A and B are shown apart, each in its own frame.
Chain A
């Protein structure tokens, strides 16, 4: 073939062809930015690339033909080289597509990994929080301090408190979130806790636990009452200066077990409103996961009494 084409014409040809190539490369870039093909519809991306390549070839052909119409020699050459021009565009577009796809894939993979990492971190944090919550450092260290005091003056009492504390901790550590226990068992554990707290706070803390004997064998999720009693003691004791009565009562009828935990509070300070804190929220969530109901935890304010009521379907 004779390639005798003036340098100016060749230059324009190259410029136009490359401009079209740049144009479709940009279109592809934008396409892939907003549309990430999955393996199934990768086919469409290939069709789209072919269409773009064909468009670019046709576009540059029309423009060059229009621009150099009188130069028959050149237009003939242009026409003859149409196939090779098209194939070249397809090759280039293919390369660009693969390149962009790889970059996007890598980016997505990275953000997916980051998300996964974040999820794992959050789960770990929650676990750590739960562990801490279970151990209740404030309660634990204060109890140990009380034991330290008793060891000097009343060693027998110190020994029995160590006993109670150990039994309490062992039970807490053995718990499995989904496990159900009888009311009797749960109240026994609760009683250990109350005994320890009574040693700590002395005469300020009064407790009463009342159960209908016929409810004793009904089942409830393990350690579901304890956080409520903790809350009651915290708000009861830290919100008033005098003797505080924490009352636990359990009743059952019509296939339901209802437990109420009552503590006094000072209506003048708004702290009791904070009783909707973490303890209640986590119990509500646990009960929801087990019974698929959201209405099992209620809180009632009656004059200067704060009542938390939980209902366990049987």
Chain B
């Protein structure tokens, strides 16, 4: 008997999903477990249904395809589908990842599926996936929001919610009024992807929002709204003075 495979189709356009389903009909050994409208649904479905692979659109409401992948600890194999996204295409090329450009032919589709089925179970795809996700997110412009996962729930943090950022091993602690969220990123990622007028890295381990500063206690500390006392380094103090025009 032929081995059975399972998959999900994640795309915000209904007709795009219909097309994938139609093309899949010629693969008798592939079962579609669910169709998902957006990244949130995709996230839940991946966690509960554990598919072998997914069809993933990049541009979707709220969280895009890569932000979804970033939240997954053990992502399934992925067939990316996209109409036009300069950054994504560059990231795919750079990491030798196969992807389907909409509109795609049935022939091209079948090749991509066969390729992924052949690769299933090898580690090859996983490392490439991590690399391409990081590559894409790194290339993004200034952040406008931060997607985090907290107790298996996806949360989108607006930048205004941030009280301050603190380094924590391989993670960054995002302090907000609602509590602390963890994000697996580096300090330098946040330093380069946050507006440098609005956020200042005042210390090797701390980034603070400029508007939250209540009082500076030179040369060692700064007091923020909400009362947090944040240490500042010598270079941090210099940056602080520059931004505040002191």
A contact residues vs B (CB 8 Å cutoff): 137-138, 140-142, 144-150, 152-153, 199-202, 204, 237-241, 268-271, 274
Q: Which residues of B contact A146 (CB under 8 A)?
A: 13, 15-16
For B61, give its contact among A152, A199, A200, A239 (CB under 8 Å): A239
A-B complex: 5 closest residue pairs judged by Cβ atoms: A141-B83, A149-B19, A145-B102, A149-B15, A137-B84
Q: Which residues of A contact B60 (CB under 8 A)?
A: 238
Contact in complex: A200, B156 (CB < 8 Å): no
Contact in complex: A141, B61 (CB < 8 Å): no
A to B CB contacts below 8 Å, 22 in the list: A138-B85, A140-B83, A141-B101, A145-B13, A145-B15, A145-B16, A145-B83, A146-B13, A149-B19, A149-B22, A200-B13, A201-B12, A238-B59, A238-B61, A239-B61, A240-B61, A241-B38, A241-B40, A268-B156, A269-B158, A271-B144, A271-B145
For A138, give its contact among B12, B19, B59 (CB under 8 Å): B59
Q: Which residues of A contact B102 (CB under 8 A)?
A: 141-142, 144-145
By beta carbon, the residue of chain A nearest B62 is A241
Q: Which residues of A contact B158 (CB under 8 A)?
A: 268-270
For B144, give its contact among A141, A268, A270 (CB under 8 Å): A270
CB proximity of B178 to chain A, nearest CB, Å:
12
B contact residues vs A (CB 8 Å cutoff): 12-16, 18-19, 22, 37-38, 40, 59-62, 83-85, 101-104, 144-145, 156, 158-160
By beta carbon, the residue of chain B nearest A271 is B144
Contact in complex: B61, A241 (CB < 8 Å): yes
For A152, give its contact among B16, B19, B144 (CB under 8 Å): B19
Q: Which residues of B contact A152 (CB under 8 A)?
A: 19, 22
Contact in complex: B103, A241 (CB < 8 Å): no
Contact in complex: A147, B61 (CB < 8 Å): no
Q: Which residues of A contact B156 (CB under 8 A)?
A: 268-269
Q: Which residues of A contact B83 (CB under 8 A)?
A: 137-138, 140-142, 145
CB proximity of A238 to chain B, nearest CB, Å:
5
CB proximity of A133 to chain B, nearest CB, Å:
13
By beta carbon, the residue of chain B nearest A144 is B103
Q: List 9 extra interface pairs beyond A148-B103, A200-B13, A239-B61, CB under 8 A.
A: A141-B83, A141-B101, A145-B16, A145-B103, A149-B19, A202-B13, A202-B14, A268-B158, A269-B158
Contact in complex: A270, B15 (CB < 8 Å): no
Q: Provide the bound-state CA to CA distance between A269 and B160, in Å.
A: 9
Q: Provide the bound-state CA to CA distance between A153 and B21, in Å.
A: 12
